[in-house]
Structure formats: structure tokens, C-alpha cells
Amino acid sequence: MHNKAVRFLDRGEELRRLDGVLDVPGAFAVLWGRRRVGKTRLLVEWSRRHDGLYAAADRSVPAVQRRYLATAVARRFPGFDDVEYPDWRSFLLRLAAESGGSAWPGPFVLDELPYLIAADPTLTGVLQTWIDGAPGRPTVVVSGSSQRMMHGAVLDAAAPLYGRAREAFAVRPLKPGYLAELVPGADPRDLVALYALWGGMPRYWELAERFGRDVDRAVDTLVLDPAGPLHLEPDRLLMEEVPPATALRPLLDVIGAGAHRVSEIAGRLGRPAPSLARPLAALAEMGLVRRETPFGSDPRSGRRSLYRIDDPFLRLWFRVVAPHRTALAEAPPETRLEYWRRHRPRLEALAWEELCRTAVPLLHRTDCPLGALGPWEPAQRYWRGNDPEHDVVARSVDGRRVLVGEAKWRSRPEAPKALRPPAGPPAVPGIADLEVVDAAFTPRTTAIPATAKDPHVVDADAVFAALC
């Protein structure tokens, strides 16, 4: 079994925010984020740098949870686990007494707080009292993967712990540009292919690192092979939620198979469309699905919204694994790979579009000429009826320009002339008085000089430079 951990990459902003928590003795901080995003690795690394104490909660009854945590705390305070704690109040008061008596300021990092709250909902009130007044209490950082429960316990205005966190933030996927550090020698097209497989999830990067640029072998070994560690990954993600979210799996199946409008999703599931509002919102909170609205539309209106799988790996899984589970169970590797190769071009094209839109508001940090016309607001797609669709649309921050671009995923280099947009202004609402900046996003371009009629060309080098 390959257990080598991937190098600790990026996370500079998260580490700076956590370091700021230590400026105030006894401060409280909260982190959350979807599973596999690297919260535990971040917290372990930060705790190690500051002589902290890291402890992870388990799924069990409260008495057993306290026993396990007491064993973890005993690594710093010997004898802490020599007694049984009848409740959370006694456990926390002893922790404050030990830290105060030894002048240890923390941090005490408690991972997977939702497991404890699910077993004993009164814990949030006990934590509130302890944070508000326990003398000698160390700096405390709590985290959880169940975003719904973390919001309900800490961030909701009615929650007992509301307003007490000095820092509260979500841990996001790693920036795609760091894939270049993971796979030395990879060219930009390789990086797009890798992103189309693993997205920004550190756990997936860790598993794939040993395969380098050999994406076929990585996909087959890790995903397609029934014995692979990611073959059942979506089911594990849903089961590990608190409470388990396995009932949401059918929605992922139909969205992953290509149903994106609420009416389409409802039709395939045989359910009334209004009944999907809450489960779709839950999937969005879990970071598994995103709601997309076209450029220029009211984001509060759901009439033209589309729902898409938000993670590249899950897009791969629901396109390739979910429909072919029976065949994959008996097929040899060469047959399994044929299922993957059938969908690979489309998955990579989707990943390229996503990377281009993500890079637009960051292009001004690079030497890309298009960046000098910005900075740009976050980019969106545009679609409406029979209008031409546009992959990348964004206003400049100064409100003077609008970027209208197409993301073209081609195997050969493109000449600037071949990337020219159709004649006439784009059919996009709300841009009549703005200067239109045409752009083409393509992995590679030829050395043929561009002319004044050609669009601004952004290649994969510029996109990944922005995403570091």
C-alpha cells in the first residue's frame, strides 16, 4: 500500500489567518470544508509549528468519545486519562486547569467537532460557557467536514457559539497551479488533464502522485479497478457526512449523467420540482454541487439556474464509473480504460473551461496582456434560448469593459486568426455601453503574429500562472 503523504503545498493564507488567532490569548477559531480538502493536514501542520495539541473526535457515544480524547490530551498532560469524565463540563474544566497550571497557551485543535455534537447536542452550550469564562483556557481551534452542522453550531445567529470566533473560514481546494510542483516536467496540457481527474483535492493528489504523468494507469488503479481506493468514493463521502447523506445519491447520479435543470432532475427522479430545493441546497453546502446562473441574470432567481457537479473527480466518477459498475467488475484493465477514454476529451474540455473562468479575475497578476485591461470580476458563462453561448464573460472592475471569451480545447496549436469570434456584437444583456474585449482561451498557440482583428489569446501557461 502506498501511504506517502504529498508535500505540504500552498495554504499560506490559511496559515497566516491561524497565526493571527494566537495574537489573543484564549482565542477561539472555526474551520470547515468538504471532505478530502485537506483540513486535517493543515491543522496538524499548523499545530506542530506552534507546539500545539491536535485531537480528532470519533463517532461514538459521549463517554467513549471523552475517553479517546483524554488519551490524546494525555500526550501533553500525563495522567489526564487516568480518570473517567462524567460529562463534557468536567473534561473541559480539567483541560483549562492543566493548561493554566503549566502556562501552556495552546493551541488545542479539536477536529471533527460535529461527531461530538451529533452524539450530545448540549455540548455547544457547555463550550459556550467554557469559552466565555474558564480561567486558564488555551486557544482553541475547532473544525468539521459537516458544513451544515458547523454553521448550525457556530455561525448561525441563534447558535450558542455565534460571535465568539476570532477567525472563521472555509478551507478551499488547492490552487490548480500547484499541480506543477506535484508532477515535475508536466506541460500545461498535462496539468489540465490532471486537474480534470483530481481537481484541487489534496487526498486525490496524494494517491496520484506516484503515477506522475501516466494518467491512464492512475485512473485505472485508483478509480476504475473495483479494488481501487477511490472506486466507491462518492458513497464514502455521503456516508461520512453528519448525519449521513446517502439519500442524496440519486440527485448526484442524474446531475452527473447530464441533467442540469431542476425540471430535468425532477423528471428523471420522478419527483415534483419544488421538493428538490432542500436536497440541492444540501449538496451545494457540502461542496459537491454548484448552482450556476448565466452572466447578466439575477442570481437570486432560479428560473435559469443549472446544477452541476462541482468537483472534477466526481464528474469523472459519475460519467465513467457509475453507469458501468457491473462491466468494470469483470473487465480487464484495457477494457476498463476504454470507458475512460470515451469520456476523457469532454471531461478535459469542461476542466479547461472551468480553469479559464477561475483564472480571469487573477490575470492582472501575470504578464498576460489581457490582464492589463482588467482587473476583471469573476467570470461566468452565458446562455439564453437560441443566443450564441459564451464560455467566459466578465466585466472589468472599473465598469468600462466586458470580456467575452471562448475556451477551446484542441490537441493542436491554434493560430490567432483561427480563433476570431463571429462578426457582430455578442448577444449578451447589459453590455451595450461597454467596450467588448474578445478573448480566446486555448492551451497552445502558434508563433504566427496576431493582428488587430484577432482576439486576445490566453494560453495554458498564462492560466496556470494566474492560478498559483
* Interacting residues of 197 by C-beta distance below 8 A, sequence separation 6+: 204, 208, 215, 218, 219, 312, 313, 316
Query: Does the pLDDT at position 286 exceed 90?
Result: no
34-43, 163-172, 235-244, 311-320, range with greatest mean pLDDT: 311-320
pLDDT of residue 421: 63
Q: Please check whether residue 171 is in contact with residue 39, taking contact to mean a CB–CB distance below 8 angstroms.
A: yes
Domain 12-170 -> CATH class: alpha beta
**From-to residues of CATH 3.40.50.300 in the chain:** 12-170
pLDDT of residue 156: 80
pLDDT band at 400 (very low <50, low <70, confident <90, very high): very high
Compute φ and ψ for 276, nearest 5 degrees. -90, -10
79: left (phi over 0), alpha (psi -120 to 50) or beta: left
259 DSSP 8-state letter? -
Tell the residue number behind the cell numbers 467588448, with chain if given: 436
Query: Does the pLDDT at position 1 exceed 60?
Result: no
Distance between start and end Cα atoms, the chain? 31
pLDDT in tens, 237-273: 999 888 889 999 999 999 999 999 999 999 999 999 9
Q: How far is CA 148 from CA 165, 240, 282, 316, 455, in A?
A: 17, 13, 8, 26, 44
pLDDT band at 2 (very low <50, low <70, confident <90, very high): very low
pLDDT band at 342 (very low <50, low <70, confident <90, very high): very high
Q: Please check whether residue 202 is in contact with residue 174, taking contact to mean a CB–CB distance below 8 angstroms.
A: yes
pLDDT band at 183 (very low <50, low <70, confident <90, very high): confident
pLDDT of residue 207: 94
pLDDT of residue 399: 94
Query: Does the pLDDT at position 454 exceed 80?
Result: no
The verdict on pTM exceeding 0.85 is yes
Q: Region 317-338: what's the mean pLDDT?
A: 96
* Interacting residues of 81 by C-beta distance below 8 A, sequence separation 6+: 67, 70, 71, 73, 74
147-151, 154-158, 174-178, range with greatest mean pLDDT: 174-178
Percent of the chain with pLDDT over 70: 94
Q: How far is CA 165 from CA 26, 143, 258, 299, in A?
A: 11, 12, 41, 29
pLDDT of residue 369: 87
Q: Region 431-442: what's the mean pLDDT?
A: 91
Evaluated on CA atoms 34, 306, 348, 184, the torsion sign reads negative
Provide the 10 A C-beta neighbour count for residue 186.
18
Alpha helices in 120-187 (DSSP H): 123-133, 147-150, 179-182
Distance (Å, whole) CA 192 – CA 91 = 49
Q: Which residues pair with 406 in a beta bridge?
A: 440
pLDDT in tens, 119-155: 999 999 999 999 998 899 999 999 998 777 777 777 7
Q: Please check whether residue 420 is in contact with residue 457, taking contact to mean a CB–CB distance below 8 angstroms.
A: no
pLDDT in tens, 90-130: 999 999 999 999 999 999 999 999 999 999 999 999 999 99
Alpha helices in 175-318 (DSSP H): 179-182, 188-198, 202-208, 215-219, 233-239, 249-256, 262-269, 277-285, 312-316
pLDDT of residue 326: 94
Q: Please check whether residue 140 is in contact with residue 107, taking contact to mean a CB–CB distance below 8 angstroms.
A: yes
pLDDT of residue 406: 93
Query: Does the pLDDT at position 157 exceed 70?
Result: yes
Query: Does the pLDDT at position 450 exceed 60?
Result: no
Percent of the chain with pLDDT over 90: 72
pLDDT of residue 328: 96
Before 107, cis peptide (omega within 30)?
A: yes
Q: Region 416-434: what's the mean pLDDT?
A: 71
Domain 177-354 -> CATH class: mainly alpha
pLDDT band at 422 (very low <50, low <70, confident <90, very high): low
Q: Region 343-369: what's the mean pLDDT?
A: 95
Joined grid coordinates for residue 133: 469564562
How does strand 140-144 pair with strand 28-32?
parallel
Compute φ and ψ for 368, nearest 5 degrees. -65, 125
Q: Which of 42-46, 161-165, 439-443 has the lowest mean pLDDT?
A: 161-165
Q: Region 355-367: what's the mean pLDDT?
A: 95
Q: Which of 266-280, 366-380, 441-455 has the lowest mean pLDDT?
A: 441-455
pLDDT of residue 20: 95
pLDDT in tens, 32-88: 988 899 999 999 999 999 999 999 999 999 999 999 999 999 999 999 999 999 999
Joined grid coordinates for residue 125: 452550550
424: left (phi over 0), alpha (psi -120 to 50) or beta: left
**From-to residues of CATH 1.10.10.10 in the chain:** 177-354
Please provide the average confidence, as pLDDT, over all residues in the chain.
90
Q: Which of 7-11, 16-20, 155-159, 215-219 has the lowest mean pLDDT?
A: 7-11
